[in-house]
Amino acid sequence: MKKVIIGTRGSDLALWQAHYTKKLLEEQNCEVEIKVISTQGDRSQEWNTSFDKMEGKGFFTKELEEALLSKEIDIAVHSHKDLPTISPDGLMVAGVSERENPADWLIIRDECVNEKEKFSLKEKAVVGTSSARRKAQLLAFRDDVTIKDLRGNVPTRLKKLEKGEYDAILLAAAGIERLDLDTSKFTVVKLSPQEFIPAPAQGVLAWQIREDDMGMEIVVGKINKEDVQTRVAIERRVLNLLEGGCQMPLGVYCETELNEKDKYTFKVWVSKAEAWDKQPVQLYYETILGFDLPERIVEKLNTLSPKKVFVTKTCREKDYLEKALKKLNFDVTAQSLIDVKAIPFFHLPISDWIFFSSKHAVRFFFSQKPNIGKVKFGCISKETSAELRKHGHRADFIGQNTDTKMVGKQFASLVGNAKVLFPGPKESMQSVQQQFTKNAINLVVYETLKQGIEIDTKTQIVVFTSPSNVHAFFEKNKWQAHYKAVAMGEATEHALYRKGIRKPSKPISFDDLGLMQCILSLS
């Protein structure tokens, strides 16, 4: 085979990607040369053009594609997220790489860290990013921050942070990891791609060739990762159907999981806003049949209808759920149907771990200013761990499942024979404790009291956050045929089942974002 000429941009990251591709091709016995080509996107960054006016519209790819068509190069290496969703006539994406870390990272100057706040970022921080997608999601979770545009390659952006031009910046993890950049001077918050949704195909390389180059198609086929190709095809199909690009604050992230029937389950997280300063619509889909999944997602995005929602919890000022739904024009009432009363404890049992199954448990435990000594902490969910951080502690274990028995099994497996203290309510199902054969110590720190509240019968979605709220609801209310139910976890679902409510919707996570996704799926 003749020498293969790789076309690439000239940034450090692009050159890393080109050399990575060169190595893969050489393993296929190809002789390879790298050719650097300047793109409009590179020059625009030098001219300080805002990145959100360039992303996804070919500003980083057009010249490479022209070089392919003129046969100046044989293969172009792109960050897949930079490619338009439709290749020019005569060109095709023949394959994709392994997926590097798809997440975004929040890089924070140490003096700007506040672990009690969301993403460990101090109040009213100045955050650097020029991505409309990142702006929209960050402001959705932290509307107190100020966004300041950030340009330049990855090392340049880190230098600007170090100089104090920003309190924090948002970057793709893949770029930092590929270049092996030193971030030890800063605090790095690794954002979950299921919470802070990355750009379609983020972390993946695309290998573009001429359609009539059969030789290159065969070679690229040998290095192509079909499983990654399947996932990013779903992500980019959503982008294509929405005709997204330069101004669209869109995140789409897909995972696949082999289920017990040896079939793949597709899991897709979506965040889409009308503009960078608008509240995103956040969706989660899970299905075995993935062929029309992008179409279903886009139909939901285009037909979303605000509903009247009752949530059985009292939201605080910084709580996400009520605030986000109201920004999307939902009529929301958030009020707990139970009152919570502290129960003093006078003796604190000695333990190796303390496990919290709710935010109430955290609050009422620490309200008594216990002398806890040196212990580790476990939490049922991210939301509970966030409450723990407000009291100056970090969780060593955080449950990742809405099945509390499964969380209990995972936690019990981790701690082994260690003694675990479980602060909690006077009446508890003890789903986690039941997974322990010994060394589980219960400590009552609060009790729940029912409140007689009648809800508006025009309500369309009722969100139940606990079994106690289920029981309190049915003391004063009758279930209406037009109601749709959301149950926070297995225990709440079982309580509804005993009241005759079958198959309520359940969030994928025990937090406000999980509830938000669930409510939007019903709207």
> Among all residues, which ones are annotated catalytic?
82
Walk across the sheet containing 461-464 and list its strands. Answer: 331-334, 308-311, 461-464, 484-487
3-state secondary structure of 19: helix
Q: List strand residue ranges (DSSP E) for 231-300, in order.
A: 250-258, 264-272, 281-287
User: What is the biggest distance separating any 2 CA atoms in the chain, rounded to whole angstroms?
Assistant: 81
Residue where the block lists tokens 């340009």: 151
Beta carbons within 8 Å of 434's beta carbon, 6+ residues apart: 405, 408
User: DSSP code of 9?
Assistant: -
Q: Is the Cβ–Cβ distance between 39 and 59 less than 8 Å?
A: yes
Q: Which of 392, 378, 405, 410 is closest to 491 using CA atoms?
A: 405
User: DSSP code of 480?
Assistant: P
Q: Could you give the C-alpha distances from 80 to 28, 55, 152, 268, in angstroms and in order?
A: 22, 11, 19, 18
Q: Which of 256, 246, 285, 249 is closest to 269 using CA atoms?
A: 285
The phi and psi torsions of 286 (rounded to 5 degrees) equal: -140, 125
Q: Which residues pair with residue 254 across a beta bridge?
A: 268
- CA atoms of 193 and 183, how far apart (whole Å): 20
- CA atoms of 88 and 443, how far apart (whole Å): 66
Beta carbons within 8 Å of 479's beta carbon, 6+ residues apart: 499, 500, 501
Residue 461 host element (H or E): strand 461-464
Q: Which residues pair with residue 379 across a beta bridge?
A: 356, 398
